[in-house]
Amino acid sequence: MTDDVRAVAVWRDGSAVRVPADEPVVTAFDTGLARGDGVFESVLVVGGRTPYLADHLARLHRSAALLDLPEVGDDVWGALVAAATDGWPADVEGACRLFLTRGLGEGAAPTCLALLAPVPAETLRQRTAGIAVVALTLGVAADVRAVSPWLLGGAKTLSYAVNMAAGRYAHSVGADDVVFTSVEGRLLEGPTSTVVWASGGTLHTPPLDTGILAGTTQARLFTCAAPDGWATAVTPGTVADLHAADAVWLLSGIRGAAPVTSLDGIARGDAGLTSRVQELLAR
Ligand code: PLP
């Protein structure tokens, strides 16, 4: 169907320019390419619109500040998103990726891009079919990133090679995705998602002071869940808590809520809660 539909917009000479999707827009000397020295966001496009853009821009600004990247205003990002989504088919969910890099380096103009492509069919499938997950260590202590700003805890940086490698490792052992744990066995996050579990009527998620990313989807779910009768809690859980939970999901803006159907090879259910969670997220 639409896998060939893609769009690119680049900030050039003070305005957002839509360019053909296969046109080169970044110099080979861009430090985002050489060193992963930049930040990004993945914004859901639904009905041709980006209803959660503001949450992602707030996090993009926080990430940029953590990397001492130049401040780029919401007007720039808004213009890039508008240029990329212009004419996007309303019936195709899209993933709009915003990239901010240090460009040619310290003191140079930053590179600002918006890329738009359909949400992959496999991602859409996982919302209903669920995912098999393995727990893998990230090799960091749960409290180290809170006191080590150079580790960039909480920043969504372009340095995702470890996250992608974890995903490939999961696939090599027959799983779909990963839950990272700290060296003490504390729950952290997925390589591209936030962990949420339901237990006795309470929705739980791990604390941000472990250095995980503040998930916009988890925040939205918790905001909607309270008036719907759920208690919500920030909980320093372990893999054992996930095994004991009524349901476990990996959440992200593009994926929504994917129910975990097996953890470390042990099948698990969702107590029929996934439709309620997905309904809350769709509000
Ligand atoms: N944690 C990581 C490492 C991620 O890459 C993502 C996805 O962007 C998330 C959590 C979930 O964040 P969000 O719900 O804002 O997409």
Q: What is the mean pLDDT of the chain?
A: 96
283 pLDDT tier (thresholds 50, 70, 90): confident
By CB neighbour count within 10 A (0-12 exposed, 13-18 middle, 19+ buried), where does 196 fall? buried
Helices (H), 232-272: 239-244
Structure tokens at 116: 């738009």
Residue percentage of the chain with pLDDT more than 90: 96
Q: What pLDDT score does 165 carry?
A: 98
| Residue 3 pLDDT exceeds 60 | no
Per the listing, tokens 């240029």 go with 83
Pocket perturbation via mutation, ligand 1, pick of 252, 277, 278, 281 by most ligand atoms within 8 A of CB: 252
Among the four given CATH numbers 3.20.20.70, 3.40.50.970, 2.40.160.210, 3.30.470.10, the one describing domain 7-119: 3.30.470.10
Mean pLDDT of 247-254: 98
How is the chain split into domains, by residue range? Answer: 7-119, 124-281
- In this structure, which topology does domain 124-281 adopt according to CATH? D-amino Acid Aminotransferase; Chain A, domain 2 (3.20.10)
User: Which residues have C-beta atoms less than 6 Å from ligand 1?
Assistant: 42, 189, 192-194, 213, 215-217, 251-253
169, pLDDT greater than 80: yes
Note the pLDDT tens digit of each residue in 109-150: 999 999 999 999 999 999 999 999 999 999 999 999 999 999
Confidence of residue 2 (pLDDT cuts 50, 70, 90): very low
Contact 32, 192 (CB under 8 A): no
Give yes or no on whether 7-119 and 124-281 have one common fold. no
Q: Name the band, by pLDDT with cuts 50, 70 and 90, for residue 4.
A: low
User: Which of 2-11, 94-103, 147-156 shows the lowest per-residue confidence on average (mean pLDDT)?
Assistant: 2-11
Report yes or no on whether pTM surpasses 0.85: yes
Type and span of the H or E element at 202: strand 202-205
Residue nearest to atom 7 of ligand 1 (CA): 192
**Cα-Cα-Cα-Cα dihedral of 273, 174, 142, 195, to 10°?**
-20
What is the average pLDDT across 34-41?
Answer: 96
Cα dihedral sign for 117, 251, 165, 260? negative
Higher-pLDDT residue of 22 and 172 is 172
- Average pLDDT (3-15) is 89
CA distances from 226 to 148, 197, 202, 229 (A): 33, 15, 10, 5
Q: Checking phi first, is residue 200 left (phi over 0); if not, alpha (psi -120 to 50) or beta?
A: left
- Helix (H) or strand (E) holding 10, with range, is strand 7-12
- Give the pLDDT mean for 240-254: 98
